[in-house]
Structure 1
Amino acid sequence: MDTAILPLGTVIRRQADSDEQAIRLWLHGKSAHSQRAYTSDIERLRSFVVRPLPQITLDDLQGFADSLADLAPASQKRTLAAAKSLITFSFKIGYSTFNVGAALTVRKPKNTLAERILSHEDITRIIEREDNPRNHAILRALYETGCRVSELCGLKWRDVQPRDGGLAQVTIFGKGGKTRHVLVSQRLHEELCRLRGSSGTDAPVFPSKSGRALDQPAVFRVIQGAAKGAGIEQRVSPHWFRHAAASHALDNGAPISLVKEQLGHSSLEVTSVYVHARPTDGLFKFLNR
């Protein structure tokens, strides 16, 4: 079987015989949402660089990076990160002899998080003006739990457990295969109970008309319709509720460790971006006027 030479003289057996096999191994274990996004990114790469992965050069990757100029900065970063990840993986499994992706620089895009944090008043208006019970509960659940849209769609009734005082505990299985438990209000718990009816423990918390779990595009439509009904001109997505939950909680004195745990961030550094996105002080207070 073919082998590839790794640093320090390590030898690894070749684990793939084609691009398709290497890509399939690379995608294994990733969420359905991530697989769709990564597949799209890699298809773009392979359309631009028409040669097998082991033959891709740094010049190819740099040309590919330049070809992404028409994309938003964040999309450029994600696409290049996917390309680097696949090329690194193909090297680690012995399919490629060299890891040319390691030499590609991915520039950080401008941080536009502040533009996607709605005020507490805007969030409240979006929620309260939604008169469809299911959709209203979706909005409140996104805000109170700070969950991702994929996590919301995956919720089943067994994930919602009552707690003392009318509260409820929601178990969320999310990104990176991590499980977290979040506490939600009595108000949201009561809304969910009214929606449940006779649904069994394995039924989706937020079903479509067919009875199956809502898919992500459907949730996007719910959010955008509710935002439009509240007079919000921006193109609001479900993730904006996650941003708002983190930012508003920190503004109101929540421990940053609690926000980190509830949102499922990998580190406090990730959570701290919300602090920097909405500063509470300014130099103007200390300058001569």
Structure 2
Amino acid sequence: MTTLPAIIEPDMQQVPALPPTQADDDGQMIRLWLARSASPNTRRNYEREARRFLAHVGKPLGSVRIGDLQDYVASRPGSSATVALAASALKSLFTFAQEVGFLRFNIGAAVNVPPIKNTLAERIMPEADALLMIRQEPDLRNRVLLTVLYGGGLRISEVCGLRWRDLAVRDEAGQATIFGKGGKTRVVLLSAATWKVLTALRGESGPDVPVFLSRKGGALDPSAVHRVVKAAVARAGLSAEISAHWLRHAHASHSLDRGAPIHLVQATLGHASVATTGRYLHARPSESSARFLGV
């Protein structure tokens, strides 16, 4: 049995701060690959999948064959979405390994990502439910947090990274400069209502202070945001499946329902392609040919 590279030992929790500049072995190769992703969540998921895969095949990356990869994907337990994520992660690994010259061939190119059902429609809550979560939150910080997640359509990592210097007055409301997914920066205009509750939270905080403080005085981490959202969901008597990202889905869907141009929603949410934003139109169509029939 091949010894797993140090990068994917079970006690590995995060990518080292300084990845290697070249790959001389499997461990360094995987560290380089993981360092490409700006998202900590993606890095964790990909690292976990690489560890699982190498434990399964029991051989170095250079000795893995197409059949090994195909067999792994075909036998991977979990939902269709989990299997698709596994296939995508490993295809990414082998593609990158060839690009940097670590492997001669990209065996991942021959492996198809299994199709998955689009369940976006199941994760879009009614507007009344989103507002109920916000209005029933008794804690000011948490109420503002929920408001910004929904009103700004922000990702959890973006909310956690907000500092007061990122916010600026704009006309009768304000704007937030967001450092988002893929290392891209965008500016989000906030509504007057969202801006009002947001500025009420500041007090005497300086420009470099996090907008959403933990009890210890630092920035809230993603796990704390998840706990706030789950508590708000329970308080409002809503489905336990609802997560913080559902508020971002709700922002996209509800703004489109209210007539917001799709390119504007794309820019606000920081989607790389308008096709990604268009999924919300398909998830909640405004018309259907079925309504024209007599049955």
- Whole-angstrom distance in 2 between the partners of 1:176 and 1:91: 22
Contact persistence 2:225–2:244 (CA under 8 A) = yes
2:62 aligned residue: 54
- The one of 82, 90, 94 equivalent to 1:87 is 94
1:156 aligned residue: 163
1:37 aligned residue: 45
- Whole-angstrom distance in 2 between the partners of 1:184 and 1:279: 26
- The one of 254, 263, 275 equivalent to 1:257 is 263
Structure 1 residues without counterparts, runs of 5 or longer: 1-14
- Whole-angstrom distance in 2 between the partners of 1:182 and 1:188: 12
2:17 aligned residue: none
Moved more, 37-46 or 211-220: 37-46
| 1:133-158 Cα distance to aligned partner (Å, 9 max, x none) | 00000110001111111111111111
Moved more, 105-114 or 33-42: 33-42
The CA deviation at 1:59 is 0.9
Q: What percentage of residue pairs aligned between the two structures are identical?
A: 47
Is residue 201 of structure 2 the alignment partner of residue 215 of structure 1? no
1:97 aligned residue: 104
- Whole-angstrom distance in 1 between the partners of 2:48 and 2:211: 30
Paired residues for 1:174-213 under 5 Å: 174-213=180-219
The CA deviation at 1:29 is 4.1
Moved over 4 A (4+): none
| 1:10-30 Cα distance to aligned partner (Å, 9 max, x none) | xxxxx5211111111112242
| 1:258-289 Cα distance to aligned partner (Å, 9 max, x none) | 00000011111111000000011122322234
Secondary structure at 2:141's aligned position in 1?
Answer: helix
- Whole-angstrom distance in 1 between the partners of 2:127 and 2:96: 43
Against the structure 1 CA distance between its residues 272 and 179, is the aligned structure 2 distance closer, same or farther, given a 3 Å change threshold? same
- Whole-angstrom distance in 2 between the partners of 1:275 and 1:144: 19
Contact persistence 1:180–1:264 (CA under 8 A) = yes
Q: Which amino acid aligns with 1:28?
A: A
TM-score normalized by the length of structure 2:
0.89
Secondary structure at 1:235's aligned position in 2?
Answer: coil
- Whole-angstrom distance in 1 between the partners of 2:55 and 2:176: 43
Secondary structure at 1:272's aligned position in 2?
Answer: helix
- Whole-angstrom distance in 2 between the partners of 1:75 and 1:217: 21
Secondary structure at 2:177's aligned position in 1?
Answer: strand
What is the Cα-based RMSD across aligned positions, in Å? 1.2
The CA deviation at 1:193 is 2.1
Contact persistence 1:170–1:182 (CA under 8 A) = yes
Contact persistence 1:33–1:150 (CA under 8 A) = no
Structure 2 residues without counterparts, runs of 5 or longer: 1-21
Q: Which amino acid aligns with 2:241?
A: R
Aligned length: 273
